[in-house]
A and B are shown apart, each in its own frame.
Chain A
């Protein structure tokens, strides 16, 4: 299916935000915004769903906590009972306090690494992956809005051009997708 994409460029994030607001008010769907930094408050304007990364962080943390507990119980109690400060050494529960700092550290480590890797995978930005942004300048000082015609059945290309003329932009780039 062929598709046409409009890349609308701005040199200020506030200007982009205002234009996006006007376009959305006219019923245009903006599929993506490329920016060198996170733009505060852009998510509700272009209708980005809330991230589910937090839920994943909780699950990764829980995994870490479980792994740490199972691991330490095996290492320190079952396989080779350790003498922890002369305390009863055949019980995980009675030596729990000694294991808390490690459980905590491992929980944090798993949550942090899990989150970072999930984020990179989900955004397809693992090291070495090809760049997704349409214009290298969006990693420097330019901001680009992506509008796909396939997602905007209500408006024609000419209407969109008219709206953009009225709202204003820095550069407009069009690309045919096969």
Chain B
């Protein structure tokens, strides 16, 4: 099709993979003698596995949101959204393998509730066992994966079919399927965050944890979509995407970073106010051990986008958007790191060669898969019913 992966992009993707693999091996060599090694290795794999899986999932969510609301302006960037959502199958395989190894290692001290010894001695874990047990955990995980995959495949196939046949029948089908996906996603986004991340701090719980995780995922997805669109534009593709489309995507990044900050604050303030021992442990650990990282991460993810992206001109400026985008991506990766590593390793959590290596490795894979997805279909959906509206988008 029209877009081909440039040599430079291929070098970047494979370079990142190579550098990541090298750092990972270095990290393994450095920490293999440590008795936390397995926990640290798997926690690190879970951080990057989940983070990049979430980019694909956030994109799928965003696509179905556009379908369910019958939005017009996004038609010109629809293939970008699809390409990022197309990382989902790869992301699911990687996250699935990571979860499988952790399960086979009886939780690897990450999911301590999987450990029979902990179950025998810990009354709270025993009481949670009807929900938090290996079999039900895998039933849920597979249910999430299957649902996400089926909806992703359906959206993609219908989108390619629409290019061939046109008409509005597919549009109305997408409308129904998009709304249906949102119903599933409303439940699954919460429960999957509880299963995969919140259960690391098994004694602790927070009802809005799922939305918090979801908001972080959505925000990182939006900046990835912006950066991919800007990259394609720079190469001279996407002629129909104008400043207004970029501006709208920028607004989404701005708004979702506020959504995330709002969730972060709501969770933090309510627990701080109530000051109940069993609830504050989560923040006590993170503030005692990772004070600068924890609040620094909040400042990166909140203050940066708020102050920089506030003005209209900034949301139309490619340089500023890419800068803020990279900051947000790093910020949200740190957020996931603190959620997972601090829970699994406590004071022993470090950002070392292992963590950075795996993140770069996954970033390389992610970039390659997304670019390859872009080559597989025309970059502008030919027969999208709202394409004309999108081409004349002006705000």
For chain A, the count of residues having a C-beta within 8 Å of the partner chain is 11
| A-chain residues with CB within 8 Å of residue B275 when the two chains form the complex | 85-87
Of chain B, the residue at the smallest CB distance from A40 is B394
Contact B269 A54 (CB under 8 A): no
Q: A41-B394, A100-B265 in contact; A85/B310 too (CB < 8 A)?
A: no
Give, as a whole number of angstroms, the nearest-CB distance from B288 to chain A. Answer: 16
Q: A92-123: which have CB < 8 Å to B? A: 97-98, 100-101
Residues 277-327 (chain B) with a chain A CB within 8 angstroms: 310-312
List of 7 A-B pairs having minimum Cβ-Cβ separation, nearest first? A97-B269, A97-B272, A85-B273, A85-B275, A41-B394, A100-B265, A98-B273
The chain B residue sitting closest to A87, CB to CB, is B275
Using Cβ atoms and an 8 Å threshold, which residues of chain B touch A100? 265, 269
Most chain B CB within 10 A, of A54, A97, A98, A100, is at: A97
Over the window 150-163 of chain A, the binary record of Cβ atoms lying under 8 Å from chain B Cβ atoms (1 yes, 0 no) is 00000000000000
A residues within 8 Å of B by Cβ?
Answer: 40-41, 54, 58, 85-87, 97-98, 100-101
**12 intermolecular pairs with C-beta atoms under 8 Å apart:** A40-B394, A54-B311, A58-B310, A85-B273, A85-B274, A97-B265, A97-B269, A98-B269, A98-B273, A100-B265, A100-B269, A101-B269
Task: Kindly state the separation between the CA atoms of A54 and B314 in the bound complex, as whole angstroms.
Answer: 13
A83 CB to closest chain B CB, in angstroms? 13
Task: Place the interface of chain B in its size category.
Answer: 10 to 19
A78 to B122, CA, bound (A): 47
Q: How far is the CB of B206 from chain A (nearest CB, A)?
A: 16
Asked whether any CB of chain A lies closer than 8 Å to the CB of B268, the reply is: yes
A113 to B: closest C-beta gap in Å: 19
* Chain A contact residues: helix, strand, loop or mixed: helix
Query: Are A54 and B268 within 8 A (Cβ)?
Result: no
For the complex, give the distance between the alpha carbons of A98 and B394 in Å: 41
A53 → B minimal CB distance (Å): 11
User: CB-nearest residue of chain B relative to A58?
Assistant: B310
How distant is the Cα of A58 from the Cα of B268 in the complex, in angstroms? 27
**Identity of the chain B residue whose Cβ is nearest the Cβ of A86 in the assembled complex:** B275
CB distance from A72 to the nearest CB of B (A): 15
Q: How far is the CA of A87 from the CA of B274 in the complex (A)?
A: 11
Cα distance, A18 to B380, chains bound together (Å)? 30
Cross-chain contact A97 with B394 (CB below 8 angstroms)? no
Shortest distance in angstroms between A86's beta carbon and chain B's nearest beta carbon?
7
CB distance from B310 to the nearest CB of A (A): 7
Instruction: List A contacts of B311 (CB < 8 A).
Output: 54
Cβ contact within 8 Å between A97 and B273 = yes
* Closest A residue to B394 using CB positions: A41
Within 8 A of A (CB), among B251-285: 265, 268-269, 272-275
- Measured between alpha carbons, how far is A27 from B142 in the docked complex, in Å? 68
* B310:A97 contact, CB within 8 angstroms: no
| Bound: A86/B394 CA distance, A | 53
Residue of B whose beta carbon sits closest to that of A97: B269
